[in-house]
Amino acid sequence: MKIPNCYVECGEFAEFKPILKAWCRVNRIYMKKSEKDCPWRYNERALISLLAAAAWTSGYPAMEEFTTLKGRRKDQTHGPGRCDLKIQIDGKNYLFEIKKKSAINHFLVK
C-alpha cells in the first residue's frame, strides 16, 4: 500500500496550519512504523490521539476526552458533557467534537 500525500488548506483558520501539517506527518510516521496500517480506518478515539500528538509536536498543549459543561439550546441551560479534544493556541482554547464519517466499503470477491 502506498502512503498517500497530504495537502493542508486552512482558509480562515490559519492558526491550525502547523498542527494539520504535523498531523499529516504523524499519520505518515504511524503508517511507516505499523507496517502501513491506516489510522483513519479506526474509530474517533484513534483519530483524536493522532491530532493531539500533532498539536503537542507543534508546540501547542492538547488534552483529550475530558468532562466539561455543554449548553442546551432549548432552555439555554448548561449540563455535564464531554469534550473530545482541547488545543490551546496563543492563549485561546479550541474545543473539538470529532466525528468520523463512515465510508461504504466495497469488496471485490474473486
Q: What are phi and psi of 89, to 5 degrees?
A: -125, 120
Instruction: Check residues 85 and 74 and name the one with the higher pLDDT.
Output: 85
Alpha carbons within 13 A on the beta-carbon side of 102: 4
pLDDT of residue 3: 55
Closest CA to 13 of 87, 102, 64: 87
pLDDT of 8 > 90? The answer is no
The pTM of this model reads 0.75
Q: Which of 17-26, 57-66, 75-84, 96-105 has the highest mean pLDDT?
A: 57-66
pLDDT of 109 > 90? The answer is no
Closest CA to 26 of 55, 2, 68, 1: 55
